[in-house]
Structure 1
Amino acid sequence: MNATALRAGFQRGLIELRQSFTTVQDLWGYFFPTVVFLVVMTLMKGSVIPGTTFSRGSMTLPSLIGASVGFNAMMSTMQQLTVEREDGTLLRAKALPNGMSGYLIGKIVMVSGMTLVGIALLIVPGLFMFDGLEIDAMTWVTLAWVLVLGLVATLPIGAVFGSLFENPRTMGVIMLPVMALVGTSGIFYPIGELPSWIQGIAQVFPLYWLGLGMRSAFLPDSMVAVEIGQSWRTWETLGVLGAWAVAGLVLAPIVLRRMARRESGSTVAARREKALQRMPG
């Protein structure tokens, strides 16, 4: 990848990110989930984690920050690729010199920016609304490396799935399993409360480790008692997220290249024709 493609992709991503701040649909996507999460966590304030006096709402905040990183990176990347594959944007990028490289860099910048905005909207009010969180210099250090590694681990997953599905209407196929994974990854309650076989499945995927990493950043050391092995498992978090990052960075370019080679004017026209046929007359 040359410097021109890198610079063009970065600029493209920033432009698309700025445009998202002026689009009603995108603004709704930023604020509505945040409001829902804050309301749900507020309702959980009166409940405590079993065996402790710590509020379930306070414990859920860092878990949701981690889950938001993984969920937004995967689903937003997937959605962007499928939508722009169907409307011909990706085909136009393919026709330009270094167009695909610039296009992908732009998507990485845009989705990363959207994810950062989303978690900022959770963190800023959350720190004032929920008690018991411990904030110091290491909080921000841990937040930074978990965030960066989490994005690198999950963005390629979204790119792979976005390459496999031809239109955004098929996203429901992957949405339900992802939502089930969120529900079983210790985001809303300690994973130790779940059956051991579910714990094992959850620990294979990045969402659990993102939530654990964020809890290690924001929660007091006493709360490690409710985690698996009574440990924040920092090295394991680094290892699992790192493994997903390496696998994604190897697999995603292969899948994307194959997908790009199949794109042509006739395939885009065929998708548009199918979309028109599904529209009510």
Structure 2
Amino acid sequence: MAATSHNTTDKPLPSTMAIGVARTKLEVREFFREREALIFTFFFPIIFLAIFSAVFGDTDFGQGVNAATYFTPGMIASGIFLSSFQSLAISIALERDEGLLKRLRGTPMPPQSYFIGKIGQVLITSVAQIALLLAISGLLLGVDLPTDPSDWINFAWIFVLGTASGSVLGIAFSVVPKSGKAASAVVTPVVLLLQFMSGVYFVYSSLPAWMRGVASVFPLKWLASGMRSVFLPDDFVQTEPGQSWHLGIGAIVLAVWLVAGLIVAQRVFRWTRRDAG
């Protein structure tokens, strides 16, 4: 009887995915409680889009495209990269420095659940950020949003590939800063450099050829050009290098970075500081 009673009170342990979903909810709550994360990650592209729209408000980029319309794709790409790569590279480095990762590693929680929580937080906050940016650009800045379903299909796969590759690269890059305090100083310049080189803040075709060549190696350039193909008129492809959006090449580059990021993250990720042994 005792054995029967014991068996009826046993409960199966939650699955890795269930724990990951619960972890996602916690990560999202903590993200929106951090003022610095909200300003420098969530609202940064929205604020910059408003500034660029005001500064270049009288500039005609051709075919009736105004500043807000031209810079919206770059700000979307930048927002994805900030919410994935920069956010995870900094937050994980801080959690490692504070000993949180070491404590989590000592719990029954599967390591995969921790990463599901981080990536889930990136997906949710990225969707919220871009939805807000599109609402502001469409309602307040006069940006005509796409109406062709094929544009939104392209938007979806570019968003998913960009978010996934940025997330795994952020996890991998989180081991580079020597301490949590140094994380922002190490990660932010990398992100800013890629933003300037990838056509986020400038007309991409006006950048030097060598700079475009370097930028084409990294995912942010392909995120930005992919988003331009969605939000700019079709004839604008004539202003792109090679007079093509190169969506196929962009998909390959993003997929390669995703796979490479997964491999590197698995090999180099640390739950404790390097000086902890």
Instruction: Give the structure-2-normalised TM-score.
Output: 0.85
Cα distance in 2 between the residues matched to 1:113 and 1:163: 24
Partner residue in 1 for 2:225: 212
Residues 52-96 of structure 1: CA distance to partner in whole angstroms, max 9, x if unpaired? 542233111012101211232101001111111111110111112
> 5+ residue gaps in structure 1?
269-281
* 2:96 pairs with 1:85: yes
Cα distance in 1 between the residues matched to 2:67 and 2:46: 17
> 5+ residue gaps in structure 2?
1-12
Residue of structure 2 aligned with 1:73, choices 73, 84, 95: 84
* 2:252 pairs with 1:239: yes
Following superposition of structure 1 onto structure 2, how do residues 67-146 of structure 1 map, counting pairs within 5 Å? 67-128=78-139, 129-146=141-158
- 8 A Cα contact 1:6 1:105, kept in partner: yes
Q: 1:15 to 1:240 in 2, by over 3 A?
A: same
Residue range with higher mean Cα deviation, 26-35 or 104-113: 26-35
Cα distance in 2 between the residues matched to 1:38 and 1:75: 22
* 2:89 pairs with 1:59: no
Residue of structure 2 aligned with 1:161, choices 173, 188, 194: 173
- 8 A Cα contact 1:135 1:218, kept in partner: no
Superposition deviation, residue 32 in structure 1: 5.5
Cα distance in 1 between the residues matched to 2:46 and 2:209: 31
- 8 A Cα contact 1:150 1:241, kept in partner: yes
Superposition deviation, residue 101 in structure 1: 1.8
Residue range with higher mean Cα deviation, 160-169 or 103-112: 160-169
SS at match of 1:142: helix
- 8 A Cα contact 2:45 2:78, kept in partner: no
Residues 10-59 of structure 1: CA distance to partner in whole angstroms, max 9, x if unpaired? 2111222134345555544534652343232233221123x654223311
Residue of structure 1 aligned with 2:263, choices 250, 260, 272: 250
Residues 225-280 of structure 1: CA distance to partner in whole angstroms, max 9, x if unpaired? 11111111110111111111111111111111xx23x559x939xxxxxxxxxxxx
Q: Which is higher, the Rg of structure 1 or of structure 2?
A: 2
SS at match of 1:213: helix
- 8 A Cα contact 2:94 2:179, kept in partner: yes
Q: 1:138 to 1:131 in 2, by over 3 A?
A: same
- The number of residues matched between the two structures is 262
Q: 1:22 to 1:263 in 2, by over 3 A?
A: closer
RMSD: 2.4
- 8 A Cα contact 2:78 2:200, kept in partner: yes
SS at match of 2:60: coil
Amino acid at match of 1:213: G
Cα distance in 2 between the residues matched to 1:139 and 1:250: 31
Q: 1:76 to 1:222 in 2, by over 3 A?
A: same
Partner residue in 1 for 2:206: 193
Superposition deviation, residue 190 in structure 1: 2.5
Superposition deviation, residue 121 in structure 1: 1.8
Cα distance in 2 between the residues matched to 1:229 and 1:144: 24
Partner residue in 2 for 1:267: 276
- 8 A Cα contact 2:219 2:254, kept in partner: yes
Cα distance in 1 between the residues matched to 2:138 and 2:273: 47
Partner residue in 1 for 2:26: 15
Superposition deviation, residue 105 in structure 1: 1.3
Q: 1:180 to 1:28 in 2, by over 3 A?
A: closer
Cα distance in 2 between the residues matched to 1:32 and 1:194: 23
